[in-house]
Amino acid sequence: MSIRILLVEDDDHICNTVRAFLAEAGYQVDACTDGNEAYTKFYENTYQLVILDIMLPGMNGHELLREFRAKNDTPILMMTALSDDENQIRAFDAEADDYVTKPFKMQILLKRVEALLRRSGALAKEIRVGRLTLLPEDFTVLCDGTELPLTRKEFEILLLLVQNKGRTLTHEIILSRIWGYDFEGDGSTVHTHIKNLRAKLPENIIKTIRGVGYRLEES
């Protein structure tokens, strides 16, 4: 299952280098060099990790950190040249998950990324939700040990909802995350797949937020 990372770094060379390295490691990376653009991307998409510089045009990294953390608990790794104690303490007080200073070795950055993704469950080999067990590597869902006949898209939607448990995902977010930006369908496509998915689940754990989207209910 693809892991999607938002990389926010205003130095073009560093941004391109980190993006290429993480892509080579198998991650899908959306990169931007402006704080305001990062704010928009975060609210329009779903990410499993954010890598965030502090000194940015537009909204700075501290401002973005506060905004992102108020929205959800997506892991956030601060990546900055500011190595002083004050900036590090400020970031951790705002609930940053990790802090790495430039210059850094790419392999060390990768290990920090992997550690945060493991801690959040994004790299888990299996995810349990009530009676369900999701196996992301096999695109398989078990209920009390019995495999459910989900299609690939149904599995991807369920996993997306599980990874964002308690958060309402709009039709637009689900469409862009599962089908991609170039897909020409609309919200009815999501509705149909959700309807089929619900019919296969042992109990209705997907709540419709009328006029907005869907949310996985807390178990």
Structural domains of the chain, ranges and CATH numbers in brackets: 2-118 (3.40.50.2300), 125-214 (1.10.10.10)
Banded model confidence at residue 126, pLDDT cuts 50, 70, 90: confident
- Confidence at residue 219, expressed as pLDDT on a 0 to 100 scale: 54
Q: What is the mean pLDDT of the chain?
A: 90
> Residue 6: beta bridge partners?
30, 50
% the chain with pLDDT above 90 = 65
Instruction: Specify the range with the lowest mean pLDDT, choosing from 53-67, 71-85, 178-192.
Output: 178-192
Is residue 214 scored above 80 in pLDDT? yes
- Confidence at residue 97, expressed as pLDDT on a 0 to 100 scale: 96
pLDDT in tens, 46-66: 889 999 999 999 999 999 999
Banded model confidence at residue 195, pLDDT cuts 50, 70, 90: very high
- Confidence at residue 182, expressed as pLDDT on a 0 to 100 scale: 59
- 58: Cα separation from own chain's centroid: 23
Query: Three-class SS string for the chain?
Result: CCCEEEEECCCHHHHHHHHHHHHHCCCEEEEECCHHHHHHHHHHCCCCEEEECCCCCCCCHHHHHHHHHHHCCCCEEEEECCCCHHHHHHHHHCCCCEEEECCCCHHHHHHHHHHHHHHHCCCCCCEEECCEEEECCCCEEEECCEECCCCHHHHHHHHHHHHCCCCCEEHHHHHHHHCCCCCCCCHHHHHHHHHHHHHHCCCCCEEEECCCEEEECCC
Banded model confidence at residue 218, pLDDT cuts 50, 70, 90: low
* Global confidence as pTM: 0.69
CA distances to 37, 55, 61 from 8, rounded to whole Å, are 9, 10, 9
